[in-house]
Amino acid sequence: MAEKKTQIDIGDISGYLKKIYRDRMPDAYKFHNFSYLKSVVKQAKKMAKALELTASEKEILLAANWFRYSGMIKQYENYEIESTHLAAEYLQSQNWETNDIDRVKKIILNSTSANKPTDTLEEITQDAGLAYLGKSKFFSTISYLKLELENTQDKKIGDRKWHNIIYKKLSEGQFYTAYANEKYQDKVADHLTKQQKNLKTARRDDIRIKTGKEFGRGIDTLYRSTYRTHINLSSIADGKANMMISINTIVLSAIITLIGTTITLNGKVSFDHFRFFLPILILLVTVLGSAVFAILSANPKVTSSDVEKKDIVQRTKSVLFFGNFIHMEQEKFVENLGFLKNNEKLLYDNMAVDIYELGQVLSTKYKMIKISYNIFMVGLILCVASFLIILCYSQYTAN
Spatial separation of the C-alpha atoms in residues 88 and 178, rounded to whole Å: 30
State residue 263's pLDDT score.
Answer: 62
Cβ(326)–Cβ(304) under 8 Å?
yes
Spatial separation of the C-alpha atoms in residues 283 and 281, rounded to whole Å: 5
State residue 280's pLDDT score.
Answer: 83
> Which of 213, 217, 222, 203 shows the shortest CA–CA distance to 342?
203
Band of residue 2 on the pLDDT scale cut at 50, 70, 90: very low
- Mean pLDDT of all residues in 200-224: 69
Higher pLDDT: 312 or 389? It is 389
What crossing angle do the helices spanning 178-211 and 344-398 adopt, rounded to 10°?
0
State residue 351's pLDDT score.
Answer: 82
Spatial separation of the C-alpha atoms in residues 291 and 271, rounded to whole Å: 27
- Identity (one letter) of the amino acid at 44? A
DSSP state of 202: H
Q: Is residue 1's pLDDT more than 60?
A: no
- Of the ranges 168-182, 194-208, 246-260, which is most confident? 168-182
Spatial separation of the C-alpha atoms in residues 383 and 111, rounded to whole Å: 98
Higher pLDDT: 18 or 260? It is 18
Q: Is residue 353's pLDDT more than 70?
A: yes
Band of residue 300 on the pLDDT scale cut at 50, 70, 90: low
Band of residue 135 on the pLDDT scale cut at 50, 70, 90: very high
Helix (H) or strand (E) segment spanning residue 109: helix 98-109
Spatial separation of the C-alpha atoms in residues 378 and 390, rounded to whole Å: 18
> What mean pLDDT, rounded, does the chain reach?
84
> Which of 44, 53, 52, 48 shows the shortest CA–CA distance to 125?
44
State residue 20's pLDDT score.
Answer: 92
pTM above 0.85, yes or no: no
pLDDT per position as a tens digit, 306-337: 666 777 777 777 777 766 677 777 777 788 77
